[in-house]
Copies of this chain bind each other. A is one copy, B any other.
Amino acid sequence: MKQYASFQKYLENEYQGPFMATDIIIEYEQNGLEGIILIERKFPPYGVALPGGIAEKMTFAENAAKEAMEETGLTVIINEPYKPLCVLSNPSQDPRAFIASVAYVGRGYGKINPSKEEDAKRAFFVPLINLPEILEKNIWAFGHHKKILELYLDSKGVCYER
Protein backbone atom coordinates (compact mmCIF):
# COMPACT_ATOMS: atom_id res chain seq x y z
CA MET A 1 0.00 0.00 0.00
CA LYS A 2 1.20 3.47 -0.94
CA GLN A 3 1.13 4.87 2.60
CA TYR A 4 3.77 2.31 3.60
CA ALA A 5 6.03 2.73 0.57
CA SER A 6 8.85 4.51 2.42
CA PHE A 7 8.72 2.01 5.28
CA GLN A 8 8.84 -0.89 2.84
CA LYS A 9 11.76 0.70 1.03
CA TYR A 10 13.55 0.96 4.38
CA LEU A 11 12.98 -2.74 5.04
CA GLU A 12 14.09 -3.79 1.58
CA ASN A 13 17.21 -1.64 1.47
CA GLU A 14 18.35 -1.13 5.02
CA TYR A 15 17.20 -4.09 7.06
CA GLN A 16 20.40 -5.90 8.05
CA GLY A 17 18.80 -8.66 10.05
CA PRO A 18 17.89 -10.38 12.18
CA PHE A 19 17.07 -12.92 9.51
CA MET A 20 15.04 -15.70 11.03
CA ALA A 21 15.52 -19.41 11.44
CA THR A 22 13.24 -21.90 13.13
CA ASP A 23 14.67 -24.85 15.03
CA ILE A 24 12.85 -27.77 16.54
CA ILE A 25 13.29 -30.30 19.29
CA ILE A 26 11.42 -33.36 18.01
CA GLU A 27 10.38 -35.65 20.83
CA TYR A 28 10.34 -39.24 19.59
CA GLU A 29 10.07 -42.74 20.98
CA GLN A 30 12.32 -45.55 19.76
CA ASN A 31 12.51 -49.07 21.19
CA GLY A 32 10.63 -47.92 24.28
CA LEU A 33 13.04 -45.05 24.95
CA GLU A 34 12.09 -41.37 24.94
CA GLY A 35 14.45 -39.08 23.11
CA ILE A 36 14.91 -36.44 20.45
CA ILE A 37 16.11 -36.22 16.84
CA LEU A 38 19.34 -34.54 15.76
CA ILE A 39 20.80 -34.13 12.30
CA GLU A 40 24.26 -34.03 10.81
CA ARG A 41 24.64 -31.04 8.49
CA LYS A 42 25.51 -31.46 4.82
CA PHE A 43 26.60 -27.82 4.38
CA PRO A 44 28.85 -25.52 6.42
CA PRO A 45 28.91 -24.94 9.28
CA TYR A 46 29.38 -28.72 9.57
CA GLY A 47 28.46 -30.69 12.62
CA VAL A 48 25.46 -31.85 14.58
CA ALA A 49 22.42 -29.60 14.81
CA LEU A 50 18.73 -29.42 15.57
CA PRO A 51 16.50 -29.82 12.51
CA GLY A 52 15.59 -26.35 11.25
CA GLY A 53 16.12 -23.73 8.61
CA ILE A 54 15.60 -20.21 7.36
CA ALA A 55 12.02 -18.94 7.72
CA GLU A 56 9.86 -18.82 4.62
CA LYS A 57 6.48 -17.16 4.00
CA MET A 58 4.42 -19.02 6.59
CA THR A 59 4.22 -18.93 10.37
CA PHE A 60 7.33 -19.94 12.29
CA ALA A 61 5.58 -23.00 13.69
CA GLU A 62 4.57 -24.10 10.17
CA ASN A 63 8.13 -23.50 9.02
CA ALA A 64 9.48 -25.61 11.88
CA ALA A 65 7.15 -28.49 10.98
CA LYS A 66 8.08 -28.22 7.27
CA GLU A 67 11.82 -28.26 7.96
CA ALA A 68 11.33 -31.18 10.37
CA MET A 69 9.60 -33.19 7.64
CA GLU A 70 12.29 -32.36 5.06
CA GLU A 71 15.26 -33.08 7.31
CA THR A 72 13.95 -36.08 9.25
CA GLY A 73 10.95 -37.49 7.33
CA LEU A 74 8.81 -37.18 10.47
CA THR A 75 5.40 -35.58 10.80
CA VAL A 76 5.69 -33.23 13.76
CA ILE A 77 2.91 -31.77 15.87
CA ILE A 78 4.20 -28.57 17.47
CA ASN A 79 3.31 -28.27 21.17
CA GLU A 80 2.56 -24.56 21.45
CA PRO A 81 2.67 -22.70 18.14
CA TYR A 82 2.39 -19.26 19.82
CA LYS A 83 4.76 -20.05 22.67
CA PRO A 84 8.11 -21.41 21.52
CA LEU A 85 10.50 -23.00 24.01
CA CYS A 86 12.84 -20.03 23.53
CA VAL A 87 14.03 -17.34 21.16
CA LEU A 88 17.80 -16.83 20.89
CA SER A 89 18.96 -13.69 19.16
CA ASN A 90 22.55 -12.88 20.00
CA PRO A 91 23.74 -11.11 16.81
CA SER A 92 26.94 -13.19 16.67
CA GLN A 93 25.52 -16.65 17.45
CA ASP A 94 25.47 -17.78 13.82
CA PRO A 95 28.76 -17.55 11.88
CA ARG A 96 26.92 -16.91 8.59
CA ALA A 97 24.92 -13.77 9.38
CA PHE A 98 22.73 -12.14 12.04
CA ILE A 99 20.27 -15.03 12.23
CA ALA A 100 18.00 -15.39 15.25
CA SER A 101 16.33 -18.66 16.18
CA VAL A 102 12.79 -19.40 17.32
CA ALA A 103 12.87 -22.90 18.82
CA TYR A 104 9.83 -25.14 19.24
CA VAL A 105 9.17 -28.48 20.84
CA GLY A 106 6.97 -31.01 19.06
CA ARG A 107 6.17 -34.69 18.89
CA GLY A 108 7.43 -36.63 15.87
CA TYR A 109 5.52 -39.47 14.20
CA GLY A 110 6.62 -41.81 11.43
CA LYS A 111 9.90 -43.27 10.26
CA ILE A 112 13.19 -41.35 10.26
CA ASN A 113 14.04 -40.71 6.62
CA PRO A 114 15.51 -37.34 5.59
CA SER A 115 14.95 -36.01 2.07
CA LYS A 116 18.14 -36.26 -0.01
CA GLU A 117 17.90 -32.66 -1.24
CA GLU A 118 17.91 -31.08 2.19
CA ASP A 119 20.50 -29.70 4.63
CA ALA A 120 20.64 -32.91 6.63
CA LYS A 121 23.13 -35.63 5.69
CA ARG A 122 21.45 -37.91 8.21
CA ALA A 123 18.96 -37.71 11.07
CA PHE A 124 19.36 -39.82 14.19
CA PHE A 125 17.65 -40.60 17.47
CA VAL A 126 19.26 -39.66 20.79
CA PRO A 127 17.77 -41.06 24.01
CA LEU A 128 17.03 -38.26 26.47
CA ILE A 129 19.29 -39.90 29.07
CA ASN A 130 22.26 -39.57 26.69
CA LEU A 131 21.64 -35.92 25.80
CA PRO A 132 23.63 -34.28 28.65
CA GLU A 133 26.71 -36.30 27.62
CA ILE A 134 26.28 -35.43 23.94
CA LEU A 135 25.94 -31.73 24.81
CA GLU A 136 29.48 -31.84 26.23
CA LYS A 137 31.00 -33.10 22.97
CA ASN A 138 32.71 -30.82 20.47
CA ILE A 139 30.43 -31.79 17.58
CA TRP A 140 27.96 -28.91 17.37
CA ALA A 141 27.54 -26.77 14.25
CA PHE A 142 25.91 -23.97 16.27
CA GLY A 143 26.68 -23.11 19.88
CA HIS A 144 23.18 -21.74 20.38
CA HIS A 145 21.66 -25.16 19.61
CA LYS A 146 23.38 -26.40 22.77
CA LYS A 147 21.76 -23.52 24.66
CA ILE A 148 18.32 -24.45 23.25
CA LEU A 149 18.85 -28.04 24.41
CA GLU A 150 19.99 -26.89 27.86
CA LEU A 151 16.79 -24.85 28.20
CA TYR A 152 14.87 -27.94 27.05
CA LEU A 153 16.51 -30.17 29.66
CA ASP A 154 15.76 -27.51 32.29
CA SER A 155 12.10 -27.47 31.18
CA LYS A 156 11.98 -31.27 31.55
CA GLY A 157 13.56 -31.12 35.00
CA VAL A 158 16.58 -33.16 33.89
CA CYS A 159 19.57 -32.57 36.19
CA TYR A 160 23.07 -32.67 34.77
CA GLU A 161 26.52 -31.13 35.19
CA ARG A 162 27.39 -28.14 33.04
Contacts and interface: CB of A to CB of B under 8 A. Distances in A.
A15 B16 CA distance: 11
A96 B4 contact: yes
A89 interface: yes
Interface string A114-145: 00000000000000000000000000000000
A33 interface: no
Contact of A7 (B60, B90, B97): B97
Nearest to A43: B7
Given A20-B18, A44-B4, A88 B96 contact: no
Contact of A86 (B18, B57, B83, B151): B83
Contact of A15 (B4, B54, B85): B54
A38 interface: no
- Chain A: number of interface residues, binned into ranges: 35 or more
Q: How many copies does the complex hold?
A: 2
A4 B102 CA distance: 22
A11 interface: yes
B57 A98 contact: yes
Interface in A65-106: 82-91, 95-98, 100, 102
Given A19-B15, A44-B3, A58 B8 contact: no
A110 interface: no
A-B pairs, top 9 by smallest CB distance, nearest first, are A4-B96, A60-B89, A59-B89, A82-B86, A3-B44, A57-B91, A11-B19, A18-B20, A7-B96
